Structure 1
Amino acid sequence: VRALVEVDLVLYPGEILGLVGDNSAGKSTLMKILTGAYQRDSGEVLVAGTPSHFKNPHESRDVGIEMIYQDFALCGNMDVGQNIFLGRWPRRGPFVDRRKMYTEADAVLKRLKVDVNSVFQRVESLSGGRQQSVAIARAISFEPRVVILDEPTANLSVMATERLLETMLELKKHGVAQIIISHRLQDIFAVGDRVMVLKRGENVGDRFVKHTTEQEVLQIIVSGTRDTAMTADQALAKAA
């Protein structure tokens, strides 16, 4: 089984790219290659023009790639500050420097304009939307170049979804590139710059959000092929 076939993905600083396609299109596989969870069989990954090969997620994190999974991967019995710095709590000698940890956690939340009552609040007491915000804050604390969000609005309320999209736009202001994997085209069209369609492991087209419609993207998902695929620039030139 070939999960991906000659897929090209380009992402620019501060850009929000929507990655769409049916189940088994190859979206998660591609992202796991970018984060080092899976090893590619061929091709190359360039980060800021430099060839990179990630043997594990720690190596992708070292060059600034973070992924936020659908289940958030948080520890519910710990508080917000502890989760943001989970596994790398700042130390003063042999002891955890709690003052520094909570001060820096609070600074990250304020930077993202995240609505969490307190860094001392246990994560399990937070709503799904606020837990999502904590997961994003943890990713941002690593100062990433790229943040990948896997179905981030799948289990969120309308209000929580709006807050998440606002947070994504805030990240964009700071120059953080983002890839959002989603079946909800309305979310991608609300904040995205480009949308890319995968089908059976192939890139069957991408479009600038400002110059396409949800209907056109759905048409590409249903009937697009690699032979008819166009980049966003090619599609824009053809429409001119």
Structure 2
Amino acid sequence: MVPVPEAPLLKLRGISKRFGAVQALDGVDLEVGVGEVVALVGDNGAGKSTLINVIAGADPADAGVIEWKGRPVRPGSPRDAQRLGIATVYQDLALCENLDVVGNVFLGHEVHHAGLLDEVEMERRARDMLDALALRVPSLRVPVAALTSGERQTVAISRALLRQPEAVLLDEPTAALGVEQSALMLNLVDQLRERGSGVLIVSHHLSDVKAVADQVAVLRLGRNNGFFDVRTASQEQIIASITGATDNAAMRAGPAWP
């Protein structure tokens, strides 16, 4: 008996989204498997962040189907996506700068005991999470406003991983980071893959894509314009697909990246 292939963790079919006269997404397809890292790339205005918002429930699609573990779903809000097991870290991080690290990590999911906030338990769990992921901040009780860009990114990711999501969406996670901090972030993506999480990472940096991604999906003007296997596609092929030098590029073999 031939085994039935396992359904992708996340699958998008024909996703479209319009804002007034602007067609931001037009029939976009995408798949993210269990323990797979997919890089979503494209020029400015290609529709990458809009697609992230659709999956995260922040801006539901006008048309198309989202499948989660093989069944159709329609996340109408970020909370809907979180209940499914989808966590999102946005480029602006969406942190409350006047709150400390613990307050931000548990924002909206505070732990209570006898009707009061259990600050001791939240601090313990926050420290355990940071230690498990090899993430560092100077203090769990320092206001987020006093942290560096990399440390703020750490807080945002810790908050996203609090509920142990099965899929993680990362919108330009290394855009504001230095070389060392970017390396730590990419190491975290590797850890997520090893834990079996599906990761969709938006990035302008093809070096980051090469370092962590298994597959690359290119968007151009709101449409799919190429799917590539990082192991076999050349950097030139992907750049040509991003710029439009090659339209509707299919996944295909090519010289490995240098």
The TM tier, using the shorter chain, reads over 0.9
Residue 192 in 1 paired to residue 213 in 2? yes
The CA deviation string for residues 206-225 of structure 1, in whole angstroms up to 9 with x for no partner, is 11111112222101112232
- Name the SS for the 1:7 alignment partner: strand
Q: Which has the higher contact order (CA 8 A, sep 6+)?
A: 1
User: Which one has the bigger strand percentage?
Assistant: 2
Tell me which residue corresponds to 2:96. Answer: 75
Question: 2:195 is matched by which residue type in structure 1?
Answer: H
Instruction: Could you tell me which runs of 5 or more consecutive residues in structure 1 were left unpaired when the two chains were aligned.
Output: none
Moved more, 127-136 or 71-80: 71-80
Residue number in structure 2 paired with 1:224: 246
The match for 1:107 is 128
Aligned: 1:159 with 2:180: yes
Structure 1 letter corresponding to 2:177: L
CA RMSD of aligned residues (A): 1.5
Aligned length: 233
What percentage of residue pairs aligned between the two structures are identical?
37
Q: Post-superposition shift, 1:124?
A: 1.8
Correspondence 1:1-240 to 2 at 5 A: 1-222=22-243, 223-226=245-248, 229-230=249-250, 232=251, 235-236=252-253
Structure 2 residues not aligned, in runs of 5+: 1-21
Secondary structure of residue in 2 paired with 1:8: strand
Deviation of the 1:202 alpha carbon = 0.9
Structure 1 segments of 4+ aligned residues over 6 angstroms from their partners: none
CA distance in 2, matches of 1:98, 1:111: 20
Q: Deviations over 1:94-118 (max 9, x none)?
A: 2101111111111111121102233
Give TM-score, length-normalised by structure 2: 0.86
Paired letter, 2:147: L
Cα deviation for residue 147 of structure 1 reads 1.0
- The amino acid across from 1:55 in the alignment is G
Residues of 1 paired with 2:92 and 2:160: CA distance?
14
Provide the rounded CA distance (Å) in 1 between the counterparts of 2:224 and 2:132: 35
How far apart are the structure 2 equivalents of 1:121 and 1:209?
40
- Tell me what 2:6 maps to: none
Question: For residue 163 of structure 2, what is the amino acid of its counterpart?
Answer: F
Q: 2 CA distance for matches of 1:213 and 1:108?
A: 37
Shift of 1:132: 0.4
